[in-house]
Amino acid sequence: MLNEALDRSCEQNGSPMSGQDEKFSLDAMDLRILAVMQTDASQSVGDIAASVGLSQTPCWRRIKRMKDAGIITSIVATVDREAVGLGFTSYAFVKLALPSRDNMEAFDRLVARWPEVVTCERVTGAVDYLIKVVTTDIKEYDAFLRDRLLNGDLVSDVQSRIVVATVKETTALPLPHL
């Protein structure tokens, strides 16, 4: 809703930052706007503006500027996994057979195509990657391991940790205290 309104307004009026340098530092008001949006980005710009004590147009300009600068990367819906039949979550520690640049790039490309992998981090230490995998059940996870992750010579070892309960899950970043 907010994303569509921003895009529509830009098409009609042009970008408020067009021709300006898109690099800028965040001020306290930007951080307040981000905090509100991390809680519920489906609110109208007017509601966000009211929450932070700003009028609608300056709030819209700040949001647009943060989108243009890549600070706001997307506005999405968070879906309850279990409500859509994806009740199994596992973290897999992945070790490449040979952690070369080519193999890392190849693995990065593969992971990007696997919808079961919702998070992939390249890490330091005894393994090369930590991936979070979401499937319907353990049988589907086993098929993912055999048919995708271990299908080929790229991966030498996988250690899985099955999630038994999620205590906290958020996409909100810990913004600096205002």
Domain ranges within the chain, ordered by starting residue:
2-68, 82-162
Q: Tens-of-pLDDT digits for all 178 residues of the chain?
A: 444 444 443 343 333 333 334 567 899 999 999 999 999 999 999 999 999 999 999 999 999 999 999 999 999 999 999 999 999 999 999 999 999 999 999 999 999 999 999 999 999 999 999 999 999 999 999 999 999 999 999 999 999 999 999 999 999 999 986 5
Q: Burial letters for 61-99: b for 16+ Cβ neighbours within 10 Å, e otherwise?
A: bbbbbbbbeeebeeeeeeeebeeeebebbbebbbebeee
**Helix axes of 56-68 and 28-39: crossing angle, nearest 10 degrees:** 80
Contact of 62 with 33, CB cutoff 8 Å: yes
The SS3 call for residue 122 is strand
Domain 82-162 carries which CATH code?
3.30.70.920
Equal fold, 2-68 vs 82-162: no
Alpha carbon of residue 79 to chain centroid: 13
* CATH code for the part of the protein at 2-68: 1.10.10.10
Tokens for 119? Answer: 């998070």
